[in-house]
Amino acid sequence: MLSLNPKDLTIQVLQKYLQNAVAPRPICFASTVDANGNPNLAPFSFFNVFSSNPPILVFSPAYSGRTGAAKDTLLNVKEVPECVINVVNYSMVHQTSLASSPFPKGINEFEKTGFTPIASDIIKPLRVAESPVQMECKVNQIIELGTQGGAGNLIICEVLKIHISKSVLNEQQHIDTKKIDLVSRMGDNWYCRAAGESLFEVQKPVTTICVGFDAIPNHIKQSKILTGNNLGLLGSIEQLPSKEDIEKFKTTLPEFNSETEKHIYAQQLLELNKVKEAWMLLL
């Protein structure tokens, strides 16, 4: 394993390691204005949601690692503590990338990117009409993490109003993950598209208490077929099947010539999310 001390690396090399390791990262397409009302658009992948009550989003425009200069977005929110955070989906990713070019302060990125500006309801910065979700925010706090090139600045934003395109909603009027087709940043020039086979579900045991990994017998844990993900799925069940259920289930099974065959079949059941059936087979 390669072990590194961040202090021994240049900013550029360290950032390359961090951005390739901490990924995928959601993209904040931030719209701001300066004191004279000049608009600015810029994408940031150091971004996430940190609270629902109050609704807080945080993104971080870093000082340039090459020049040490502050981003226009940071300068703007210090003058006008408001922003619109627009999410980025696949249909707009290349136009969004245009806004990452280091245009001089005062250049209108709406014009450079070709996006359609629309007025916000509560705040001064403009929204991006093409974005499927636009959040009007006030900037509650700016936390400077350093003063040198590469240092981040946490822009802590409180969401005041959310605008959602009806095209990405399901019948329950919630955002449909498959319809919204979001993209995220990886390292270097790579992006990730949250669509197709890249999407998969993991049922989180947040409302029930699962039996856990430690409840799995050693002869199952030591399987040469079952993976860590398979075992994790076995540990997610709320309670183990009863002896009666196991005996009844085993009457429906074919004959197995080896434990390997049995574990392969159990893996197939787990891939179909038939966790209880896999347990009954393995016990």
What was the pLDDT predicted at 203? 75
Q: Which two tokens stand for residue 259?
A: 């434990």
Q: Domains along the chain? A: 6-198 (2.30.110.10), 213-282 (no CATH)
So what's the pLDDT on residue 66?
82
Ordered DSSP codes for 168-212: GB-TTSSB-HHHH-BEEE-STT-EEE--GGG-------SSS----
Please tell me the predicted confidence (pLDDT) of residue 62.
93
Q: Which pLDDT tens digits describe the chain residue by residue (283 residues)?
A: 999 999 999 999 999 999 999 999 999 999 999 999 999 999 999 999 999 999 999 999 999 888 888 999 999 999 999 999 999 999 999 999 999 988 888 889 999 999 999 999 999 999 999 999 999 999 999 999 999 989 999 999 999 999 999 999 999 999 999 999 999 999 999 999 999 999 888 877 667 788 899 999 999 999 999 999 999 999 998 899 999 999 999 899 889 999 999 999 999 999 999 999 999 999 9
The tokens for 270 are 């787990």
Q: What is the pTM of this model?
A: 0.86
Per-residue pLDDT at 205:
66
Closest by Cα among 153, 156, 180, 132 to 83: 156
- Backbone φ, ψ for residue 204 (5° rounding): -85, 130
